[in-house]
Structure 1
Amino acid sequence: MIAFSATLACQYDTPFSPFPAAQFGHGLAWLSASGFDAAELCINDYEGVEVAAIRQALDRAGLGCTTIATGQARKRDGLTLLSADKSVVRRTQARLFEHIDAAAQLGSHVTIGSLRATDLPLDKGQYMSELAAALFPCVEYARRNGVVLILEALNRYEVCQLHSAQEMMAYLAFSDAPENVGVLWDLFHASIEDADYAQAIATLGPRLRHVHLADSNRGFPGYGHLPLEEVYTALRLAGYQGAVSLECLCRPSAQTVIDGAGELVARLRRL
């Protein structure tokens, strides 16, 4: 069964949440009332963040947690797994260890997207080698703690390498990634990088562990030109058992997202 979640900010505001972090409780109530199963939590660091309290708030709302989104640390703290400054790499790994600890408590995955962005002039082979080496201790730590790390396929305008479903699978094979490493497939990025959605889903196979919903303009589904129902049907027919998570910019407005989410979830569940 496919679960539904949506991004919420619980520490610092993010353009992907229709509620500011200060209204985290309102966001949980919205998810519950709109028929979602879980939240996708945007967490930068754990200064002042009580994971046990978040777990309790989720439980009260009848919600789970699908993944912890980690990308804020790229812009806020300059973290990346791919840096000429090895102290930056070590700090990024340490931050990911904290995310893994939180995910173990929340029963969630940990997303690695923007934390693999780099300004280094790396070709594909160099990029994959550097990323595999930097990720290795994180992958092992996650494996020991029963946590899945999901690497997000990002478009060519955001990162220099690993954009498509096929390229993500090539990286997993290159790095001999264990089963606790999967792929996050985002429809916005896929609209740029994957010519055939059904083929991309088939290529990822069981490594597909999480899906982001957004339209071609990264706005709320229905305000661009992506065939959302066709993609969701392809996921269902492929036997996908992970979550689909609303991670879109609040376009045309936050209120549009708030008001339309329940109908979107209900419509997809009927397919």
Structure 2
Amino acid sequence: MTINPLGIHALVFAGGTTDQEIDRSVAEAKAAGYDILELSLHDTDNLDVARTRKAFEDAGLDLVGSRGLAFDADISSEDPAVVARGEKLLQDSVEIVHGLGGKLLTGALYSAFGNFGHSLSAKGRANVVSVLSNLAVEAASKDVTLGLEVCNRYETNVVNTAEQALALADDIGQDNVVIHLDSYHMNIEEDDFVRPFQLVGDRLGYIHIGENHRGYLGSGHIDFAAFFHAMSDIGYTGGITFESFSSAVVSPTLSNDLSIWRNLWNDGPALARHAHSFISNAIAANSDER
């Protein structure tokens, strides 16, 4: 039995959010022993919110919603029309998470998701702060928390380190904004796996765990011993969600954005069971009861 609720990204099982795909993802996540199923909100045209909420409730799974933005709906843009489209997407996302019974909307909420050809401007950052400050107030009225996921330089030019995420959260200035660390991105951008945890401390609200190549945990070079030691040292008891992608499961909207060009695995359910065991054992090894 673990201290932290464990989650898994639905893209391990299905590429979208049709009724059939939701049923498959919920059933497989539950069968593998997870407490949380994370849904990307990039396929909401096919998402039946009421039906999906019931499927989660019947399975006893908590829901986390995640998303990034598109370049034509980027709140870090200097173009007011582009910013307005991004703000509307975020507002709709908060409403969907609330409708699904979720309590957390996380991801690259602050910018388009992709490789930028320029650095962030002061005006663009000011737009991010303005939009997310208002969004956080709206989210709080629905009991939804916003997570700022720290992503790598190839996917955003706004937040690449824990230090930058904290600075942005400070400027947003709302209590329902938390930091979201991800071992895959940390491996690219941070000096090590220890200092980000120490820096974020009790403002850490969510974790993604993934290998350097996004495949099987333990099959790459990430120092998970240091990662879990650091997590344990700050007393983190929140959700830890396994995130892995392979061309075996293709999302019509996300696979290209995430640069999923090869098969790192073919059997999602087997991968899910392995990850649950890996994370559970790592937590147990660092618990006070060992």
**Where on the TM-score scale, by shorter chain, does this alignment land: which range?**
0.7 to 0.9
**What letter matches 2:274 in structure 1?**
G
CA distance in 1, matches of 2:24, 2:172: 42
1:245 aligns with 2:241: yes
Which of 30, 51, 54 is the aligned partner of 2:52?
A: 54
**What letter matches 2:52 in structure 1?**
I
**What letter matches 1:140 in structure 2?**
V
Question: Could you list the runs of 4 or more consecutive aligned residues of structure 1 that deviate by over 6 angstroms after TM superposition?
Answer: none
CA distance in 1, matches of 2:78, 2:225: 43
Instruction: State the shift of 1:181 in Å.
Output: 0.7
Pairwise mapping of residues 165-244 of structure 1 onto structure 2 (< 5 A)? Answer: 165-173=162-170, 175-244=171-240
Q: Which residue of 2 aligns with 1:129?
A: 126
1:260 aligns with 2:274: yes
> Is contact 2:228-2:283 (8 Å) kept?
no
CA distance in 1, matches of 2:112, 2:200: 21
Q: What's the Cα RMSD here?
A: 2.3
> Measured at CA, do residues 18 and 102 of structure 1 come closer, stay the same or move farther in structure 2, by a change above 3 Å?
same
Which of 5, 14, 18 is the aligned partner of 2:13?
A: 18
CA distance in 2, matches of 1:248, 1:236: 23
Instruction: State the shift of 1:215 in Å.
Output: 0.8
Pairwise mapping of residues 32-181 of structure 1 onto structure 2 (< 5 A)? Answer: 32-44=30-42, 46-65=44-63, 67-71=64-68, 74=70, 78-105=72-99, 106-113=101-108, 116-117=111-112, 119=116, 121-123=118-120, 125-173=122-170, 175-181=171-177
> Is contact 1:110-1:149 (8 Å) kept?
yes
Instruction: State the shift of 1:233 in Å.
Output: 3.2
Instruction: State the shift of 1:189 in Å.
Output: 0.7
> Is contact 1:81-1:116 (8 Å) kept?
yes
CA distance in 2, matches of 1:17, 1:164: 26
Identical columns (%): 22
CA distance in 2, matches of 1:204, 1:151: 12
Instruction: State the shift of 1:234 in Å.
Output: 2.1
> Is contact 2:162-2:200 (8 Å) kept?
yes
CA distance in 2, matches of 1:114, 1:223: 30
> Per-residue CA shift, 1:75-120, capped at 9, x if unaligned?
7xx4221224322222221221122122224232111416513858
TM, length-normalised to structure 2: 0.80
Instruction: State the shift of 1:225 in Å.
Output: 0.7
**What letter matches 1:182 in structure 2?**
V
CA distance in 1, matches of 2:93, 2:233: 32
CA distance in 2, matches of 1:130, 1:47: 27
**What letter matches 2:5 in structure 1?**
A
3-state SS in 2 of match to 1:149: strand
Instruction: State the shift of 1:44 in Å.
Output: 1.9
> Is contact 2:133-2:172 (8 Å) kept?
no
> Is contact 1:217-1:224 (8 Å) kept?
yes
Gaps of 5+ in 2: 247-262, 286-290
> Per-residue CA shift, 1:154-183, capped at 9, x if unaligned?
11122223211112112222x142111111
CA distance in 1, matches of 2:77, 2:120: 14
Instruction: State the shift of 1:146 in Å.
Output: 1.6
Give aligned pairs, total: 259
**What letter matches 2:105 in structure 1?**
V
3-state SS in 2 of match to 1:232: helix
3-state SS in 2 of match to 1:211: strand
> Measured at CA, do residues 123 and 54 of structure 1 come closer, stay the same or move farther in structure 2, by a change above 3 Å?
closer
Gaps of 5+ in 1: 9-15
